[in-house]
Amino acid sequence: MKVLYLVPHVPNATKIRSHMQIRGLIDSGQEVVVGTLIRSDEDLKHIQKLEAGGVKVVAAPLSRWQMAYHGLAALPGSRPLQADLLRSSAFMARLDSHLQAEPPDVVHVEHLRMARYGLQLNNRWPVVWDAVDNLASLFRQASSSSTSSTWRLAARIEAPRLQSYERWLTGQFPATLVISEQDRMLFSRENPHADRVRYAPLGIPVHPHDESAPRASNVLIITGTMNYHPNIAAIRYFVETIFPLIQQARPDVELRLVGANPVEAIRSLGERHGIIVTGFVPSVADHLRQAAVALAPVTYGAGIQIKVLEAFLTETPLVATPQAIRGLDVHHEAHLLIADDPAAFAAAVLRLLDDHLLRDQLGQAGRRYVEQHHDLTETTRHLLDIYRSVIR
């Protein structure tokens, strides 16, 4: 099957949804062409890596000034600013040229920011819109929970626009994909096109577990992209309200913040006692395998938290807030420890640090959960079935 896969960011290890789905499609023998926009020199490096791996890329540059102009131009209207940020006539022209020369069997459009291109192609090709998660829900949460006043203001403007626009978009495409059953329910509420919203779970490669590296008995770890506003809020919540409680009981404990693109608010935490900020690392999994306990102190978010699945996959016992496990069928003391206030979260972490048998038990249960529900081979088969139904 020939798939044209349109994404707002060049697929790479930090863009998990597109990175994994494209990898799954290629591994299953599909022919994938990636369409995207170039916004930095880093994007060019990722494109070169994709092309070196045999993936054709159709791309056009888009500057930050152009994005800012499109966002400001959308303010007086009723459409979400997200809908117009990535508008590019040059990119659309390159897509048209590619489609004439190499017509695909299906077009996969990821994220609301790329939906405008799906709308332009929908009358010529079978198009699947991958919403990933419900942005209206995310922005409603951000409007009160973000640590950034700028984000709170932007979220208050965007949330009501997103709710109506996302519902409208589901009626424009034969299939809309979401990453969790909870997001499917959010999209389906009061929606005449609810039958078009399809659950497409996040898949990750399931390899044999590597137990060669010894775990440090005092290391805690939080993973994620360190310029994503829900991750920033989660880390600041943990460091300010929970970590001091843990340090009082275990002064030797070490917190590692592992992930690409740390903003200044995250980098500055590395100056505090017991905290290490790594920035980008070649393998997040290697760092997880060295830690005693993984943490997901999420205060708001949408979709599935990849940090949860990565901890499970590496058999790293996890402590998480209820918000971190939305969309997952996992349970307290069966797969992880769940805590919804600072004192309970700190107590759960200390409990795991002191109980290696419980750490092993939860680590193994988390691994089994990923194998059963998020194996990339199986999620790719499910995605291909959706493609076939849309093509028919």
pLDDT tens string 277-301: 999 999 999 999 999 999 999 998 7
- Which amino acid is residue 154, in one-letter code? A
> CATH 3.40.50.2000: which residues of the chain?
2-205+375-391, 219-373
Residues 348/339, Cβ–Cβ less than 8 Å: yes
d(CA 183, CA 294): 25
Classify domain 219-373 at the CATH superfamily level: Glycogen Phosphorylase B; (3.40.50.2000)
d(CA 335, CA 256): 22
- Which amino acid is residue 89, in one-letter code? S
- Which amino acid is residue 102, in one-letter code? E
d(CA 247, CA 241): 11
Q: In what order do the strands lie in the sheet with 31-38?
A: 56-61, 31-38, 2-6, 106-110, 127-132, 175-178, 197-199
Rounded to the nearest 10 degrees, what angle do helices 135-145 and 229-237 cross at? Answer: 40
Tokens of 259: 């992930």
- Whole-structure pTM value: 0.84
| E strands in the chain | 2-6, 31-38, 56-61, 106-110, 127-132, 175-178, 197-199, 219-223, 254-258, 275-279, 293-296, 318-320, 337-338
Q: Which residues of the chain have pLDDT under 70?
A: 13-14, 212
d(CA 303, CA 318): 18
pLDDT tens per residue across span 85-99: 999 999 999 999 999
| E strands in 39-98 | 56-61
Identify the CA nearest to 322 among candidates 290, 343, 298.
Answer: 298
Q: Find the angle CA(75)-CA(80)-CA(81) to the nearest 5 degrees.
A: 55
CA–CA distance from 149 to each of 153, 154, 190, 205, 233 (Å)?
A: 6, 9, 31, 38, 12
The second-level CATH assignment, the architecture, of 2-205+375-391 is 3-Layer(aba) Sandwich (3.40)
d(CA 261, CA 274): 21
Burial degree of 229 (CB within 10 A; 0-12, 13-18, 19+): buried
d(CA 32, CA 55): 7
Rg (CA), the chain: 21
Strand partners, 279: 258
d(CA 140, CA 163): 10
